[in-house]
Each structure stands twice: as structure tokens, then as C-alpha cells.
Amino acid sequence: MSHFPDTAAPGRLRRLALTVVPPLLLLIVPMALVGVYGGRLPDRAYVESWATLPQYAPTWEGWLSGRRFSLVWFEVALVVPFVYYWRLPQLQRAMVIFSFVVGVYMSVSAALWLMLLVDAQGTLTRPAWHVAVEIAAAVAAAGLGYLAAGPTPSPPEVTATPPPHTLTMALGPSQRVLFVTSAWSGRRLLVAAAFGTAAVLSLSVGSHAWIGTLMLALMAIFEAAQARTRLQIDGSGITVLASWLPILRRTVPYSSVRFAEARSEPLPGRYRLGDSASGWGMVSGKGPVLALSLSDDRWFVYSTREAETAAALVNGWLIRQRQGETA
């Protein structure tokens, strides 16, 4: 059993329930509408992609069976990552948000299709405002999911000074801390190119699943935005931000840092701006890294040739700050 402190425990069951429940709308809403308007609908389900392929359109019961399969698939796709990241509340909140978006978007889309076909004799062209409503519903659902998930638990605070063996830069009482460097990630550029290519191919074949194309495009932008990052160490903490998208940033507060050290090569694990079981940060390849031991027994890692200077600066700040607090 892991000896790591379980900082994700507060609110975890609520986040799990909020991940499982919204996809149920995928089936509940269509079943309710088919039950109410079944006698006024066409014999076949001319909805979604079947609207352009009416000769293959299933019966309403067949279409609902497909929704049941989609529900099971989405539940598995949501719950498995949630359980895998059992101790990472930030990613659990992301799963809640995604669950809300999927549940609300797909149920709203199905409702719009069904209401369009009430008293219709066959296929109909969907009006453009349907897409606008779906997008608005997805955005609203993302915000609602964020609020419903609530704040993530804070990691425990550290009060002890770094061990004596760590690299340390002596800082005077009035000296300020400032260190800035940057790094590139070729792997992120390749991943961004792959997502971008998939988005273009999806668009070129005229895919009706616009949300899938949109997600591919957003993933391409998200990966490309992280290809070049900047590390800044100052009085507020240790901050990593995406150079091409400054709003994408994360800060390690000094209160959650045990000590800093310079390593000749990255620690085993996966490190990116999003959390992983090992920690987070940015590793651009082999070479020296700044490694911060965090209070939740994970690591922050950043590739930089000035790792020793950065580690000494962080430890010097921690010693001055914590000796002052305990004096």
C-alpha cells in the first residue's frame, strides 16, 4: 500500500458521483422524448449521421440501443481514468467537467433532433441554430461542472528547513529572488502536429461530429502552446507558464516545497503541466533538471542547464523564510 498522503480524499466521492451521473442523460432524455412523442415521429430515426444516410437509418428502438452502448462506453472512459488518478484531485475535477460537457451536449443534441422530427414525414435539414445551441450548452455545462466539482484539496504545508546536504545560496534579509529560464519540448510539437492533422482530416471528410473535430483542434493548440515553457522563480513561488499561451501557468508555492535539488537526468515518471502520479513539470529530454520534493511526496521537475543555481536559490529562500518563521 502506498505511503503517500491521500490529499485527494476530501470530496473525492462527490467528484466520482458527479463523473458517473451526467452521462446518464445520454439515454434518459432520448428515452423520455421517444416515449412522449413516439406516435408523432417518423418510422426511422433520421437523426445525427442517419439524417444524411436515411437508407441506413435504424428504428427508434435500434437507435436507443446504440445510445445504451454509447452510455456504457462513456461511463467506462470516464471512470477508468478517474480511478487511475485516484490521488489527483485536479484531474478528477477535469473528469467531472468533461462528464458534464458530454452528458449535456449529447442530450441537448438528441433533444433538438427529436423535436425537429415531431410530425415530420421523413428527413429534414437541421437548422444552423442547432449547432449554436449545442455549443452554448457545452460551454454552460463546462462551467457548471467546474462549480459542482468544487475546490480541490490543498496539499499539506511544509515548515521544516531543507536538509543540510542540499545546495544552498545564502540570502540576506533584504535580498529578492528572481530566476528565469526557458525550455523547448520537441515531443509536444510532434503530438500537436498529429492532433492538427487528425482535425484537418476530420474536417475534410465533412464529419458531422463537430465536437470531435473541435476537441482534436483544441488538443493540437493545447499541446503546441506547451512546446515552449518558461520557468520563473520569485518571491511568490516557482511558476511554469506556456510562452505562447501565458494564461496556461502553474505555480508551486513555497509552502508545499520540502527542498530543491539538481539532478543530472530526469526522475522516472511522466512530467507535464497536468498532474501525474509522479508529479508535474516539464522535461525536454535527457540532461540536468531542477527537482523539487513536494509535500504530497511527488516531484516538480523542470529541464534546465542552470539546475544547480535554481536549486540553490530555492533552498536559500526556504531557509531564510522558515528560519524567520520559527525564530
pLDDT at 208: 54
Check: CB of residue 301 under 8 Å from CB of residue 277.
no
Given a cut of 50, is residue 88 above it in pLDDT?
yes
Given a cut of 80, is residue 166 above it in pLDDT?
yes
Residue 14 CB contacts under 8 Å (≥ 6 apart), including other chains: 150
Domain boundaries, given as residue ranges, for the chain: 12-149, 156-184+226-327, 186-225
Given a cut of 80, is residue 5 above it in pLDDT?
no
- pLDDT tens-place string over residues 96-122: 999 999 999 999 999 999 999 999 888
- pLDDT tens-place string over residues 18-39: 999 999 999 999 999 999 998 8
- pLDDT tens-place string over residues 267-305: 887 777 767 778 888 888 788 999 999 988 889 999 999
Check: CB of residue 158 under 8 Å from CB of residue 258.
yes
Given a cut of 90, is residue 223 above it in pLDDT?
no
pLDDT at 2: 42
Residue 307, Cα to own-chain centre: how many angstroms? Answer: 28
pLDDT at 158: 86
pTM as predicted? 0.65
Q: Between 209 and 308, whose confidence is greater?
A: 308
DSSP string over 8-39: T-TTHHHHHHHHHSGGGHHHHHHHHHHHHHGG
- In 3D space, the residue among 228, 292, 221, 227 whose CA is nearest the CA of residue 256 turns out to be 292
The correct CATH number of 156-184+226-327 out of 2.40.30.10, 3.30.930.10, 2.30.29.30, 3.40.50.2300 is 2.30.29.30
262 bridge partner residues: 290
Burial (CB count within 10 angstroms: exposed 0-12, middle 13-18, buried 19+), residue 170? exposed
From CA 270, how far away is CA 87, in angstroms rounded? 15
Residue 156 CB contacts under 8 Å (≥ 6 apart), including other chains: 5, 7, 256, 295, 296
From CA 280, how far away is CA 277, in angstroms rounded? 9
Confidence of residue 211 (pLDDT cuts 50, 70, 90): low
pLDDT at 68: 92
